[in-house]
Amino acid sequence: MESIQRALAAKGVYTDKIDGDYGKNSKDAARKVIATAAPTYKPEWSDDRVRLAFEQLMMRDAGIDVGGVDGVEGVMTQFGWEQFQNKMRKGPARGGLT
């Protein structure tokens, strides 16, 4: 959850401590981002669906095709997770961020 909080902070919507606790402030920040980033977003989405949609957005921002940012874990999202985790393990390329 720390990676989610860091990504939310980078988007300027989360200013609390990066502690890995996906609590109310993290959830509210993710919902704020997804409300504008996911065309299919509806306010009644569960917190878990919003979190998954934000994770999809993180993967998309990293250049990984996960299909739509819809908070639904399909095949493309699962494949995207594998790519994202591999990318994070490798870290940034020399000379800049990837």
Does residue 69 lie in a domain region? yes
The predicted pLDDT at position 87 comes to 83
Q: Domain count of the chain? A: 1
What's the gap between Cα 61 and its chain centre? 9
**Range of the structural domain that residue 41 is part of:** 2-90
Tell me the pTM: 0.85
Question: Percent of the chain, pLDDT > 70?
Answer: 92
